A = this chain, B = another copy of it.
Amino acid sequence: MSRASEQAYSKIRAHLLSGAVRPNEQLTEDQLAQITGVSRTPVREAVRRLEDELLLVRSDTKRLFVADWSRDDIEEMFTLRQMLECHAAERAAERLTRDQIGQLEALNRDLKAAIEMTPPDVTSFLEANRAFHEVIIEAADSPRLGQLLAKLIEAPVVLRTARTYSQGDLRQSARDHDELVAAFAARDPEWARAVMGSHLRRAFHTFVRSVGPAANDQGPAQT
């Protein structure tokens, strides 16, 4: 999108991820317009995108709130992502160019470098990880699949807690990526799917372990 609405989007998103607002807190379009420095029109456009990504929700009477993700919500998100991204890996295995496989290798080198910093550079890790998965989705060559996954991957909760992962967790992630590259290089869709599946499922359990297995189960409905 164009300048103002794009800017509104990223500023609001950053604002939400920064933790400056709490789940279930009400926001108004005017507030957001002030924060972002643009008028309500592009803010409304940005808000729509953020609603789509489930970072914001609207009450039944159109009032705007910060979304609250329960543990169950997050599990479902991981499950759906796994379903779709396994499919993407399968398709990608049949379609990746040598050049793209090279990109994946390079990205995974960056990712490993980020892990081996002391302390691990989690921001770089997340960026390399995001780019890695993006190449695969791109190669799957299915616009609709990409669109669906885009929503799931925007999920913020994961990003917020990634900083608590151990170096061992991160290294396992890098090993998964290595094996994915191997599966792609071998042009073996089944292998790629299987590795992607375990990769994401493990990520879910790592997440659960880091936030506590039964947290957040008694939260009130948010709408």
Report A's interface with B, CB cutoff 8 A: 2, 41, 45, 48, 52, 54, 62, 73, 76-77, 79-80, 83-84, 87, 142-145, 147-148, 151-152
Most central of A76, A79, A144 by chain B CB within 10 Å: A144
Picked from B52, B76, B142, B145, the residue with its CB within 8 Å of the CB of A52 is B52
Q: Nearest Cβ distance between residue A153 and chain B, in whole angstroms?
A: 12
Closest B residue, CB atoms, query A91: B76
Closest B residue, CB atoms, query A72: B142
Specify the main secondary structure of chain A where it touches its partner. Answer: helix
Most central of A41, A52, A62, A148 by chain B CB within 10 Å: A148
Picked from B2, B80, B143, the residue with its CB within 8 Å of the CB of A84 is B80
Closest B residue, CB atoms, query A54: B144
Most central of A54, A83, A152 by chain B CB within 10 Å: A83
